[in-house]
A and B are shown apart, each in its own frame.
Chain A
Amino acid sequence: MNTINKSAAQITATILSSKRVGAYHQILLSIGDLASVCRPGNFVAIAVGGESSKMILRRAFAISRITHGSASGGAMELIVAPHGSGSRWLCAQPEGSDIDIVAPLGKAFGIPTSPVNALLVGGGYGSAPLFGLAEVLKTRGCRVDMLLGASTGSKIYAPLEGKRSASTLKIYTEDGSMGERGRVTAPISSLIEQGSIDVIYSCGPMSMLRAISDLTNGTDVVHQCAVEESMACGIGICMTCVLPVKDEDGTVAMLRSCIDGPVMDASTVAWDLVGKTPPVVNL
């Protein structure tokens, strides 16, 4: 029995819709039965550029949301920021196009078995997987508060239906063009002190994940973060997306964020060693 990405499959998916939402594109893919095995926090790897493309690597995107029961079976929603040649190609594909996807990949967010107070924190397009996660948490009876941040208002992705899935939604922008001026991490300390959070789920830039991790350190709050490292394959064979992660003894190993993540227990990540080589331990 295989244990890595055991629900993953490579399939051809049809683009059901693709529309611009602020600085992003919301893309809906028909994925049939694969929808039933996708979980919040999983990602999808998509071949870009067509057959004669010079882009040889897939692009990885967090699965934003899964919907079931449309006429064509299940569908997968992606929030794509068209900032590179691969994501621009994807956003330019018309409805009805067939694309080659591999999904679901990676470790999903852990869902509590009993109701908890959950705080969801998203930075930029990092908010993508949080809306699907919020819906799942709500069905488990959790209280879901959401904080979204970005440099400017157009980079906040917060669809109306998304607002409904959270009990509260607060928005922060660095230029003050939407919501409050400041960083999304600003209110977290006082929320922790008030004892009103059990679990933080976060997704966004590594600096944001680390900042939240510094705030939860030494508290009882569990912090699950979806990390972002550039990856070539997304399936665990290229060894490029590694992160320094501590085990119970504090020994650091370079783990692949594609198969040992993207969702990780933030308290195990050796944030100060990201981008460095851990000291050699003689075993």
Chain B
Amino acid sequence: MKIDYEGFDFSTSLAGASFPSPIFTASGCASSGKELAQFFDLSDIGAVVTKSVMNKPRHGRPTPRMAETPSGMLNSIGLQGPGIDHFLANDVPWLLSKGSRVIVSIAGETIDEYSVLARKIRPVQGISAIEVNISCPNVENRGMVFACQTDTAARAIDGVRKIIGGEIPIIAKLTPDVTDITSIASSVVDAGADALALINTVLGMVINLDTMRPHLGGKTGGLSGPAIRPVAVRAIYQVHNAMPHVPILGMGGVTSGRDALELILAGASGISVGTASFGDPTAIPRIQRELHTHLVARGFTTLRDAVGYAHRAVEEGAQ
């Protein structure tokens, strides 16, 4: 069932890739799409951002892998997945056959792995964009996360850019766990990222009071959900302010249309919904409807007019 937005222009673009709606799944929160297809039509939303895939199949971390926290949750999955070959042979064709726009998220343990993944993705037809998840531990450098330093972040993106050229938009996904996110953002844009995904989960930990030990099998985990939304709004606002022409795919605790609008006003051109789908399998189409209502209620006639609106001076902003 196609949604009629009554003349409102809900479309968005990220570095040349066009989408009929700005609401996407979030990487790692929709598996490869089949699971949510029981609850809504995947072609009705902006895009499916697939779970970050690595070169080889991977078991991930031991259980327990999750802990609910106030207005959020910690996860420690460890990038469990089928590997890129199986993924490209099975999951991407299935999503495209359903009329879904597909953004493929990739993750590597070495700079070379990112290049290898890019080389396998490049010839595949129909992929809207590549999200490069650089919030992974770099096994070549004491497990330091690529996205925590300007040089390693840039090298990972450069490795993808050299293979992809300008053929598919490259979205660099950054961690908020850094002192200055704008310097990381600027380094990956210089290295060839066309757009930025902000934010990945925030590193956290829970200690189990029965065992008096770390609760998660992987000890630390990524915090997501409404608890981190203000961190996302801040990161998006700072980066949009520093680089207003670089499109941002915003995410972090979006649970309602009102939350999505907040990230859009901060500077996001698209919104990924992740943890909200865990608690509500129909969260994505609901957020899409609610966002439309909020935009119309504020007098906007296109989504694009709302992007980064919070940066305008107050007198300039009067509609």
Interface residues of A (CB under 8 A from B): 2-6, 8, 10, 47, 54-58, 100, 102, 229-233, 235-243, 252-254, 259, 274-278, 280-283
Interface string of B272-313 (1 = CB under 8 A from A): 000111111110000000000000000000000000000000
**Cα separation A201 to B56 with both chains bound (whole Å):** 37
User: Which of B30, B39, B64, B279 gathers the greatest number of chain A CB atoms within 10 Å?
Assistant: B279
Interface residues of B (CB under 8 A from A): 28-31, 34-39, 51, 56-66, 68, 70-73, 75, 77-78, 80, 83, 217, 225-226, 255, 275-282
User: Interface SS of chain A: helix, strand, loop or mixed?
Assistant: loop
User: Contact between A233 and B65 (Cβ–Cβ < 8 Å)?
Assistant: no
User: Contact between A3 and B62 (Cβ–Cβ < 8 Å)?
Assistant: no
B218, closest chain A residue (CB): A277
**Known contacts A54-B70, A240-B75, A277 near B34 by CB under 8 Å:** no
Q: List 7 A-B contacts (CB under 8 A).
A: A2-B34, A2-B37, A57-B73, A235-B36, A238-B77, A240-B75, A242-B60
User: Contact between B35 and A5 (Cβ–Cβ < 8 Å)?
Assistant: yes
- Contacts beyond the supplied A237-B31, A277-B60: 15 A-B pairs with Cβ under 8 Å: A10-B39, A56-B276, A232-B278, A236-B31, A237-B29, A237-B36, A238-B29, A239-B65, A240-B64, A241-B65, A242-B60, A254-B60, A259-B35, A275-B62, A277-B78
A10: B residues at CB distance < 8 A? 39, 280-282
A234, closest chain B residue (CB): B278
User: Which of A5, A54, A56, A57 gathers the greatest number of chain B CB atoms within 10 Å?
Assistant: A56
User: Contact between B279 and A57 (Cβ–Cβ < 8 Å)?
Assistant: yes
**Known contacts A2-B38, A280-B59, A283-B83, A230 near B31 by CB under 8 Å:** no
Partner of B275, one of A6, A56, A253, A278: A56
Partner of B38, one of A5, A56, A254: A5
A47: B residues at CB distance < 8 A? 279-280
A282: B residues at CB distance < 8 A? 56
CB proximity of A283 to chain B, nearest CB, Å? 6
A235: B residues at CB distance < 8 A? 35-36, 38-39, 281
**Cα separation A230 to B217 with both chains bound (whole Å):** 13
A229: B residues at CB distance < 8 A? 63
**Cα separation A144 to B244 with both chains bound (whole Å):** 69
A253: B residues at CB distance < 8 A? 59
CB proximity of A228 to chain B, nearest CB, Å? 11
